[in-house]
Amino acid sequence: MFDYLTIIMVFKENFSIKRINTFGVDAKSNRYIKISKTSDLINVLKSNDLPIRIVGGGSNVLWTKDFNGLTIHIANKGISIIKETSKKVVVEVQSGENWHDFVIWSINNGYGGLENLSLIPGYVGAAPIQNIGAYGVELADVFISCSTIEINTLKQKQFNYSECNLDYRDSIFKNENKGEYIITSIILVLTKNGFHKLNTDYDEIKSIIGKEMPTPKNISDAVIKIRLSKLPNPEKVGNCGSFFKNPIISKSFFKKLKSRYHEIPNYTSKNDVKIPAAWLIDNLNLKGYRVGDAGIDENHALVLVNYGNASGKEILKLANEIITKVKFVYGIKLIPEVNIW
Ligand SMILES: Cc1cc2nc3c(=O)[nH]c(=O)nc-3n(C[C@H](O)[C@H](O)[C@H](O)COP(=O)(O)OP(=O)(O)OC[C@H]3O[C@@H](n4cnc5c(N)ncnc54)[C@H](O)[C@@H]3O)c2cc1C
C-alpha cells in the first residue's frame, strides 16, 4: 500500500489501540500511522485505499470493535503568532499539539481566553470537532478558523468561524461534514494584559480565587484544582470525561418535569432549558453502579469508567442501559457526547 522507503513515519499493522484511547479499551486497527507533517499526511492519503479514522489524544472516542482500515494519529506540532496588536494576538496552532500544554503556553505568555479550558485532555485538532467547553467558556469564544484537508479530494480548505457551525458540544464536523475533513491547524484570537475578558461566573472558581484580582493564571490554577478534585484521571481509571451531553428541553416540558422534581437544576435561556445529565443519572442512584469492569464513576454520575478490562462493547451496553432508564423515568433521551466507533 505505502512506499515504505519514502514514508518515514511510525507505521504499524494489526495495531492494538489500547494505548491511544483514554478509556483504555482494546481493539485492533488493521493499519496505523502516526504523522507529524501535513505533506506526509497528503502523501499517505494519496496512496491509501482503506477506510480512515483520525485520532488525536483518543479522549473522546469509544472503540467498540476492531477497525478494518487505517487509523491516522495526528502529531504535527507548532505554535506561531500570526498577528499582534496592543490588545490581542492571533495564534495558529498545529493539530498535534497537546491542548492543555497550549493553554499553559498561552498563560505563561500572559494571554487570556483559554484559562477556563485548562486541563481538558486531547489535542488541538479535535477542539473544534465538539467545540470543547468548560466553566462557562467554549472554543467558539476565541475561534477564528481552521485549516483542513478534504479526505476525498486532498484539497486544502479553510473553514471560518461561521462555516464551522460551532454549537454546544457540536460543529459541522460532527454533522454535515462528519469524517470528511482532517483539521491540520486552528487559528484563535487571545487577549493581552489590560484587555482580558475573564469569566469567573462559576461559584467554585470564585470561592478559590477569593478576594484576589482574577487573572488568566489564577483562573487556570483554580480550574485545574477543581478538575483534579472532581474528575477521574484517565491514566489511573479509563474514561472519556462526560459521556453524555446535557439535554436541552422546551420550557413547557421543563415546567412538567419541575412539578415532579422540584429540586431539578436547570440553566434557562430565552427559548429552552438545559438540564444537567449528571443530575438525571444521579437522581436514579446510579453513581457507582458497576457491571463487571464497566461502571459509572463514584463521584461523577456523567463519567463512565473502565475499571480495568472492560471492552468497548461492555461500556456501550452500560451507556445504553442508562439511556433506557433515563428515558423511562424522565422522558428525556440522552445523547452521547463521546464518539462511538
Ligand atoms: C477526564 C476528561 C475530561 C474531559 N473534559 C472535557 C471538558 O471539560 N470539555 C470538553 O469539551 N471535553 C472534555 N473531554 C473530552 C475530550 O477531552 C475533548 O473532546 C477533546 O477535544 C478530544 O480531543 P482528542 O484529541 O482526544 O480527540 P479524539 O478522541 O482523538 O477524537 C475525537 C473526535 O475528533 C476527531 N478528530 C480528532 N482529531 C481530529 C483532526 N485533527 N481532524 C479531524 N478530526 C479529528 C476524531 O476522529 C473523533 O471523531 C474530557 C475528556 C476526559 C478524558
**Tens digit of each residue's pLDDT (9 = 90 or more) over 106-143:** 999 999 999 999 999 999 999 999 999 999 999 999 99
Q: Which atom of ligand 1 is nearest to the CA of 169?
A: 11
How close is the Cα of 130 to the center of ligand 1, in Å?
7
The answer regarding whether domain 79-230 maps to CATH 3.30.465.10 reads yes
Looking at domain 10-74, which CATH architecture does it have? 2-Layer Sandwich (3.30)
3.40.50.10300, 3.90.78.10, 3.40.50.2020, 3.40.640.10: CATH of 238-340: 3.90.78.10
d(C-alpha 140, C-alpha 117), whole Å: 12
Q: How far apart are CA 94 and CA 150, in angstroms?
A: 17
Does residue 103 have its Cβ closer than 6 Å to ligand 1? no
- At 2 the pLDDT is 46
Per the CB < 8 A criterion, the answer to whether 143 and 122 are in contact is no
C-beta of 185 in contact with ligand 1 (< 6 A): no
pLDDT of residue 269: 84
Instruction: Write the CA distances from 35 to 45, 58, 75, 122, integer angstroms.
Output: 11, 15, 5, 16
> Which parts of the chain sit beneath pLDDT 70?
1-10
Active-site residues, by number, are 169, 242, 337
Q: Where are the domains of the chain?
A: 10-74, 79-230, 238-340
Q: What is the pLDDT of residue 6?
A: 42
Integer CA distances (angstroms), 6 to 19, 40, 44, 47, 76, in order: 27, 10, 10, 12, 18
Determine the pLDDT at residue 31. Answer: 94
pLDDT of residue 9: 64
| The ligand 1 atom nearest the CA atom of 123 | 25
Q: Which helix (H) or strand (E) holds 185?
A: strand 181-191
Query: Is any atom of ligand 1 closer than 6 Å to the C-beta of 199?
Result: no
> Ligand 1 pocket test: which of 53, 55, 177, 183 has the largest number of ligand atoms within 8 Å of its C-beta?
55
How buried is residue 59: exposed, middle or buried, by Cβ count under 10 Å (0-12/13-18/19+)? buried
Residue 277 to residue 274: CA distance in whole angstroms:
9
Write the burial class of residue 250 (CB in 10 Å: 0-12 exposed, 13-18 middle, 19+ buried).
Answer: exposed
Q: What are the backbone dihedrals phi and psi of residue 282, each rounded to the nearest 5 degrees, phi first?
A: -60, -40
- Is there a common fold for 79-230 and 238-340? no
Q: What is the CA radius of gyration of the chain?
A: 21
State in Å: Cα 218 to ligand 1 middle. Answer: 25
